[in-house]
């Protein structure tokens, strides 16, 4: 069996399938044996059709299944040794059914993890002669059946061929069923894992059907499932390049978790089940509230302004007693805690799930969510499409949780959800003081962030590690005691609440962290009642007070007001005749302060709304970020003043040192968002609020001052040589340079800030902001921005002080960007950028020449001389336009 990248003609597909069935699958190399002559490209290539070869007649149905075990069910199965056959009746062809493909087993590295939800499709089995095709139906485009528009849609948009297999039996004498070999149908790269492996390791792996097998098969009236142990291999690992290439990422990086990196097994669980007999009534989404949506294009009429239809993704939830104010549902939403979840965290997981029942009770559902624990007596796999689950997973570089779901595209009905929880959350909170610590500096994961997925990426682990180090330094937590255990349990519960929210249909809400003041967050009684943010769908950091202040709850323990509102919109039982009006009434509350909403798109992109951020807290994000920088410096003071016990590893100092820089790296780019920042609201008409409002001038100036004070002042970063010389590493896990380059780390922070501040995007936003305010003087001018940055970076020119090596590096980086603005202008660069930078360059040139006469070190004088020459040449040179 093989997978086609595009739909081929039926004849060519049939011939190719037959030819492939006759040829053996390439054999992977035996570890440590001479390498096979085959190449991945040759192994993966489609065989040449053998047109002249006669096609053998299918064998009688009874002969094939004689002696095989029979599993009746939705798809009737037969199994004999390693062979599995699917029985397909005539009425099962071309009938839409739901197929999901999940990943119970991975390799624990670079995004290839176990316990992960894969994809889902509406598929049909279609017969073309002696070939059965498994076709994914294109559900994104539709029109009312039987209309000319429906015919036009069919002609305009294509389905996709996922897999093919030959018919191996003649029809059954009575039922007229035929058999296809499941091995041929499912032992292909349907999920496209070869591409993911190539992206992760820069190596070409191929699917090896010969050494793939079924671990389990299951079939009943509601679901047919196949667990496949799929083998992938590459014949050889290329030798490292003799000379390091200019782009290191392009060099192959073989997996490190395998006994032999040429061979790996990845587990798949295929589920086939009927679509709901009656599609659930869809509920139209509203862009003022953050729900995942199933979007399709409906061409049934040409009157509506758009063909797009956005339906809220939600579980089917109906009252047993529709007339009762509070009723149990006919079918609750059931989450299974997988058997692989550590016993010590199961209660926290259960509480995190059940916390959402409070929101459902408010709209009339009692026990809408039920939690069950998988035991040894439960023979099903929670990776099938019928059991929503919470599963633990491990990996050498993991540090996230994820909460995806799979839906019926006709209605947005959620059919399955599997939350995957990395053990880093619990393990990181319980790490031992002074002993082997976790490596939180993980490489970029290969997981893709899709709209219906949530990734608590490595920042979560970093955030937790930073908080633990601070609390340890303050003596507030005994890492061996019950306090650390309570923090670990609370954090697991909080993460599960967030991920369950995703599986109920809720998107991120990154504005929710702004609804309460920092003072309110220091009151644990307040946050236990109202939560720490407007929604648990935000990414919230540990709630750390400054040293000496009252300490509140560290993590959220309950739902926020936005969570109740979003659940009400998606799940409230409403009379169909009144639904449009009632939903509009619910959504109209969007301007209430506690229901503030901002999505992933609002947190990044061109608008850069400074109030929509990950890992911030409080109604004044700038004040929060300033506190975080203060706490980081507190942690650095601890590093410089801490006396280690005899025999204690210096790696504990390195860890705290790194956490401080990681906080700077996370915080300062968000502070830059205030410069030229624009608040973006999703209000509809009637609230009296503007959609786009530039950040007030005092706030922009405060942010700019915070940046210059934190990054560009001569004393922004000072560490004693005695401290830097003792920042050791864990020699069992260390890679690359073992010592610390403070200058390199500082320069990386400074360069990133300069890139943002002097970017075309910030310049455009500042200039465009003048169009949104009546008084243009209330906008930070581009000239003020450039002058403020230049004065801070080159402050020694006026003070007459010597210029240290760290400062010279910063000044060179600033000079590079000024010169670039003078010499090369892209199509998107505003004209004011070059004119202002030219004026500043002339001023800088005069100041450099004056400073050279002052008594400074030889290195500083050489630096100034070179800078003068560079500026002089740039000012005289002709401007180059990008693309010219």
Q: Helices 579-587 & 561-571, crossing angle to 10 degrees?
A: 170
- Cα dihedral 88→89→90→92 (10° resolution): -70
Look at residue 632 and tell me whether its pLDDT is greater than 50. Answer: yes
Bridge-based pairing state of the strands 69-71 and 369-373? unpaired
Distance, in Å, from the CA atom of 217 to the CA atom of 196, rounded to the nearest integer, reads 26
By CB atoms closer than 10 A (0-12, 13-18, 19+), residue 131 is buried
Q: Which residue(s) pair with 807 in the sheet?
A: none
* Residue 31 pLDDT class (50, 70, 90 cuts): very low
- Model pLDDT for residues 786-819, shown as the tens digit of each residue: 999 999 999 999 998 999 999 999 999 999 999 9
How confident is the model over 495-522, as a mean pLDDT? 96
How confident is the model over 723-742, as a mean pLDDT? 83
Q: What is the pLDDT of residue 389?
A: 97
Distance, in Å, from the CA atom of 553 to the CA atom of 542, rounded to the nearest integer, reads 9
Q: What is the pLDDT of residue 435?
A: 28
Look at residue 51 and tell me whether its pLDDT is greater than 80. Answer: no
- Model pLDDT for residues 203-236, shown as the tens digit of each residue: 999 999 999 999 999 999 999 999 999 999 999 9
How confident is the model over 821-837, as a mean pLDDT? 88
Q: CA nearest 265: which of 311, 233, 219, 225?
A: 233
Region of poorest pLDDT, from 220-234, 401-415, 465-479: 465-479
Percent of the chain clearing pLDDT 90 (strictly above): 68
Q: What is the pLDDT of residue 474?
A: 84
How confident is the model over 94-123, as a mean pLDDT? 96
Distance, in Å, from the CA atom of 173 to the CA atom of 557, rounded to the nearest integer, reads 63
Phi–psi pair at 77, nearest 5 degrees: -120, 150
Look at residue 875 and tell me whether its pLDDT is greater than 70. Answer: yes
C-alpha pair distances (Å), 541 with each of 151, 366, 466: 53, 32, 10
Distance of CA 551 to the CA centre of its chain: 31
How confident is the model over 766-775, as a mean pLDDT? 91
Region of poorest pLDDT, from 214-228, 529-543, 711-725: 711-725
| Other residues' Cβ atoms within 10 Å of the Cβ of residue 195 | 12
Mean pLDDT of the chain: 87
Which residues, including other chains, have CB under 8 Å from residue 708's CB and lie 6 or more apart?
Answer: 788, 789, 792
Look at residue 427 and tell me whether its pLDDT is greater than 60. Answer: no
Q: Which helix (H) or strand (E) holds 293?
A: strand 293-298
Look at residue 124 and tell me whether its pLDDT is greater than 90. Answer: yes
Q: CA nearest 458: which of 348, 539, 377, 532?
A: 539
Q: Ranked by mean pLDDT, which of 438-442, 604-608, 645-649, 751-755 comes out on top?
A: 751-755
* Residue 454 pLDDT class (50, 70, 90 cuts): low
Region of poorest pLDDT, from 153-157, 409-413, 465-469: 465-469
Look at residue 30 and tell me whether its pLDDT is greater than 60. Answer: no
Q: Which two tokens stand for residue 345?
A: 């965290």
Q: What is the pLDDT of residue 451?
A: 40
Q: What is the pLDDT of residue 422?
A: 87
DSSP 152-183: HHHHHS--EEEEEEEB-BPPPTTT--EEEEHH
- Model pLDDT for residues 587-607, shown as the tens digit of each residue: 999 999 999 999 988 887 666
How confident is the model over 660-673, as a mean pLDDT? 88
How confident is the model over 399-417, as a mean pLDDT? 93
How confident is the model over 89-103, as a mean pLDDT? 97
Distance, in Å, from the CA atom of 651 to the CA atom of 659, rounded to the nearest integer, reads 12
Q: What is the pLDDT of residue 324?
A: 97
Look at residue 24 and tell me whether its pLDDT is greater than 80. Answer: no
Region of poorest pLDDT, from 62-71, 344-353, 720-729, 843-852: 720-729
How many helices and strands, by DSSP H and E, does the chain display?
Answer: 27, 24
Which residues, including other chains, have CB under 8 Å from residue 98's CB and lie 6 or more apart?
Answer: 120, 121, 122, 123, 271, 272, 273, 274, 275, 385, 408, 415
Q: What is the pLDDT of residue 35?
A: 35
Distance, in Å, from the CA atom of 593 to the CA atom of 589, rounded to the nearest integer, reads 9
Q: What is the pLDDT of residue 732?
A: 79
How confident is the model over 386-402, as a mean pLDDT? 89
Q: Which helix (H) or strand (E) holds 86?
A: strand 83-88
Bridge-based pairing state of the strands 824-825 and 880-881? parallel
Q: Are 270 and 99 in contact (CB under 8 A)?
A: yes
Residues 780, 784, 790, 792, CA torsion sign: negative
Q: What is the pLDDT of residue 19?
A: 36
- Model pLDDT for residues 132-177, shown as the tens digit of each residue: 999 999 999 999 999 999 999 999 999 999 999 999 999 999 999 9
0.85 cut: is pTM over it? yes
* Residue 728 pLDDT class (50, 70, 90 cuts): confident
3-state SS assignment for residue 298: strand
Bridge-based pairing state of the strands 388-393 and 413-422? parallel
Distance, in Å, from the CA atom of 385 to the CA atom of 374, rounded to the nearest integer, reads 15
- Model pLDDT for residues 544-572, shown as the tens digit of each residue: 999 889 999 999 999 999 999 999 999 99
* Residue 3 pLDDT class (50, 70, 90 cuts): very low
Q: What is the pLDDT of residue 244?
A: 79
How confident is the model over 259-284, as a mean pLDDT? 97
- Cα dihedral 138→143→145→149 (10° resolution): -110
Domain ranges of the chain: 10-273, 279-507+559-574, 794-881
Q: Are 311 and 412 in contact (CB under 8 A)?
A: yes
DSSP 822-842: HHEE-TT--HHHHHHHHHHHH
Distance, in Å, from the CA atom of 661 to the CA atom of 711, rounded to the nearest integer, reads 12
Higher-confidence residue: 374 or 240?
Answer: 374
């Amino acid at each position: 069996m093989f997978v086609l990248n595009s739909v081929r003609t039926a004849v060519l597909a049939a011939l190719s399938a037959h030819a492939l069935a006759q040829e053996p699958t390439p054999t992977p190399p035996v570890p440590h044996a001479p390498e096979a002559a085959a190449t991945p490209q040759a192994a993966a290539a489609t065989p040449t059709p053998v047109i002249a070869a006669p096609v053998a007649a299918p064998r009688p149905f009874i002969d094939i299944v004689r002696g095989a075990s029979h599993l009746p069910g939705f798809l009737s199965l037969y199994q004999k040794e390693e062979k599995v056959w699917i029985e397909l009746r005539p009425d099962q062809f071309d009938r839409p059914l739901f197929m999901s493909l999940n990943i119970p087993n991975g390799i624990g590295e670079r995004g290839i993890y176990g316990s992960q939800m894969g994809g889902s499709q509406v598929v049909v089995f279609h017969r073309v002669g002696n070939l059965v095709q498994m076709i994914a139906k294109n559900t994104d485009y539709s029109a009312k059946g039987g209309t000319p528009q429906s015919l036009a849609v069919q002609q305009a948009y294509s389905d996709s061929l996922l897999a093919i297999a030959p018919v191996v039996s003649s029809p059954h004498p009575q039922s007229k069923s035929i058999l296809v070999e499941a091995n041929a149908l499912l032992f292909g790269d349907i999920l496209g894992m070869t591409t993911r492996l190539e992206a992760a390791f820069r190596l070409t792996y191929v699917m090896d059907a010969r050494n793939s097998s079924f671990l389990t098969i299951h079939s009943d009236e509601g679901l047919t499932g196949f667990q496949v142990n799929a083998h992938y291999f590459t014949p050889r690992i290329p030798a490292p390049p003799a000379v390091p290439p200019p782009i290191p990422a392009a060099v192959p990086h073989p997996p490190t978790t395998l006994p032999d990196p040429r061979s790996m097994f990845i587990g798949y669980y295929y589920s086939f089940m009927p679509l709901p007999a009656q599609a659930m009534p869809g509920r139209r989404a509203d862009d003022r509230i953050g729900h995942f949506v199933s979007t399709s294009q409906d061409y049934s009429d040409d009157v509506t302004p758009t063909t797009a239809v956005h339906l809220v993704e939600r579980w089917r939830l109906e009252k047993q007693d529709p007339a009762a104010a509070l009723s149990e549902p006919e079918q609750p939403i059931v989450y299974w805690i997988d058997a692989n979840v550590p016993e010590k965290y199961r209660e926290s997981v259960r509480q995190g799930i059940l916390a959402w029942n409070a929101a459902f009770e408010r709209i009339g559902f009692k026990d809408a969510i039920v939690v069950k624990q998988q035991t040894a007596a439960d023979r099903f796999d929670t990776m099938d499409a019928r059991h929503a689950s919470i599963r633990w997973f491990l990996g050498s570089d993991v540090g996230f949780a994820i909460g995806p779901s799979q839906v019926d595209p006709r209605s947005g009905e959620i059919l399955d959800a599997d939350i995957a929880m990395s053990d880093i959350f619990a393990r990181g909170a319980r790490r031992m003081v002074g002993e082997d610590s976790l490596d939180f500096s993980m490489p970029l994961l290969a997981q893709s962030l899709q709209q219906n997925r949530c990734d608590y990426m490595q920042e979560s682990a970093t955030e937790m590690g930073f908080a633990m180090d601070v609390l340890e330094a303050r003596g507030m937590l005994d890492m061996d005691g019950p306090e650390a255990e309570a923090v670990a349990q609370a954090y697991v519960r909080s993460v599960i609440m967030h991920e369950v929210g995703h599986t109920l249909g809720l998107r991120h809400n990154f504005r929710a962290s702004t609804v309460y003041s920092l003072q309110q967050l220091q009151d644990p009684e307040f946050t236990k009642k109202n939560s720490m943010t407007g929604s648990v769908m935000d990414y919230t950091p540990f709630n750390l007070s400054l040293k000496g202040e009252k300490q509140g709850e560290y993590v959220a323990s309950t739902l926020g007001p936005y969570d109740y509102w979003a659940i009400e919109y998606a799940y409230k039982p409403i009379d169909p005749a009144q639904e449009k009006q009632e939903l509009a009434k619910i959504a109209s509350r969007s301007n209430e302060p506690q229901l503030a909403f901002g999505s992933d798109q609002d947190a990044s992109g061109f608008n850069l709304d400074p109030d929509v951020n990950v890992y911030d807290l409080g109604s004044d994000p700038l004040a929060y970020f300033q506190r975080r920088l203060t706490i980081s410096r507190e942690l650095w003071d601890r590093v410089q003043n801490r006396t280690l016990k005899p025999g204690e590893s210096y790696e504990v100092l390195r860890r705290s040192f790194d956490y401080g820089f990681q906080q700077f790296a996370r915080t300062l780019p968000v502070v830059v968002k205030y410069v030229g920042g624009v608040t973006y609201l999703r209000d509809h008409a009637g609230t009296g609020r503007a959609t786009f409002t530039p950040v007030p001038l005092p706030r922009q100036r405060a942010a700019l001052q915070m940046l210059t004070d934190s990054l560009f002042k001569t004393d922004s970063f000072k560490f004693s040589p005695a401290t830097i010389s003792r920042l050791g590493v864990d020699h069992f896990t260390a890679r690359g340079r073992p010592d610390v380059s403070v200058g390199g780390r500082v320069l990386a922070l400074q360069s990133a800030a300069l890139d943002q501040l002097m970017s075309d995007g910030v310049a455009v936003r500042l200039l465009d902001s003048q169009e949104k305010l009546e008084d243009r003087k209330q906008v930070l001018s581009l000239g003020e921005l450039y002058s403020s940055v230049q004065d801070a970076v080159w402050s020694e020119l006026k003070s007459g002080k010597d210029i240290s090596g760290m400062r010279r590096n910063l000044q060179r980086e600033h000079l590079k960007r000024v010169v670039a603005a003078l010499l090369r202008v892209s199509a998107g660069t505003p004209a004011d950028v070059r004119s202002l930078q030219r004026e500043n360059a002339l001023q800088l040139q005069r100041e450099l020449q004056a400073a050279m006469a002052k008594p400074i070190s030889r290195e500083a004088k050489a630096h100034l001389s070179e800078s003068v020459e560079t500026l002089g040449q740039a000012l005289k040179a002709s401007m180059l336009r990008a693309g010219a």
